[in-house]
Amino acid sequence: IAELPAGEAEALALAALGGHDPAARARAQAIARESGGSPFFVDELARQRLPAGPAGTETIRLDAVIQSRVAQLPEDARRLLEVVVVAGEPLDLEVARRAAELAGGHREAIDMLQAEHWVRPCALDDREAFEPFHDRVRESVVAIVPADRHAALHRRLAVALEQAGTASPATLAEHYMGAGELELAASHA
């Protein structure tokens, strides 16, 4: 679905809010701006219950909504999501499972991530692969991964991709660079 014009995004937000008073209109305008016109994000933001305040004074931040939802994910789903967003490109499910260090239960985790619009399936040769549902999801989740964990995820991704034998040297170099392993990055570059 394409990005909605501001007026349509505001109307969608107003319908989702179920009110037409000045406070609802101000909130709908803020939601339309913050959503960037994405119907999915309009819905996500409209479902958030923010404290009531004078019309137009609420601060609505999509990143905060996304990050709050990440904190509520079960551990396996959160770890799998972190791997998918750090990968930066479509990722084979088996590689993601290995990089997230999930022994079992990854099917439930990926199904949950799909159902809740964290990831979506994508084409990657003949393998089952996933990517973040939206760039804004990727950016918001990457922003809350601590630097040391971010480097560890890059390392685990590089190792899992190397074991799978499906990654390009450039991809391996990028992940080893992200892990801070410059010699390995250079050898793949």
Q: Summarize pLDDT for 81-132 with one digit per residue, the tens.
A: 999 999 999 999 999 999 999 987 688 999 999 999 899 999 888 888 999 9
Distance from C-alpha of 89 to C-alpha of 105, rounded to nearest angstrom: 23
**Contact status, residue 92 vs residue 166, Cβ threshold 8 Å:** yes
Residue 58 is predicted with a pLDDT of 59
Please state, in angstroms and as integers, the Cα–Cα distance from residue 85 to each residue in 11, 27, 57, 79, 109, following that order. 31, 30, 32, 10, 15
Q: Across 28-32, 59-63, 155-159, which has the greatest mean pLDDT?
A: 155-159
Type of residue found at 24: A
Mean pLDDT along residues 55-72: 78
Q: What is the pTM (predicted TM-score) of this model? A: 0.80
DSSP 89: S
Partners of residue 126 on adjacent β-strands = 124
Task: Give dist(CA 89, CA 78) in Å, integer.
Answer: 18
Is the pLDDT score of 145 beyond 90? yes
User: What mean pLDDT do residues 42-60 have?
Assistant: 66
What does the pLDDT read at residue 155? 97
pLDDT tens for residues 67-76? 888 999 999 9
In one-letter notation, the amino acid at residue 186 is A
The angle formed by the CA atoms of residues 48, 53 and 58, to the nearest 5 degrees, is 55
Where helices occur in 18-167 by DSSP H, the ranges are 22-35, 39-47, 62-71, 75-87, 93-99, 106-115, 135-144, 147-164
Structure confidence at residue 157 as a pLDDT band (50, 70, 90): very high
Tokens of 65: 């909504």
- Cβ(85)–Cβ(137) under 8 Å? yes
Bridging pattern class, strands 91-92 and 127-132: antiparallel
Q: Which range has the worst mean pLDDT, 49-53, 103-107, 149-153?
A: 49-53
Token code pair at residue 88: 């930066």
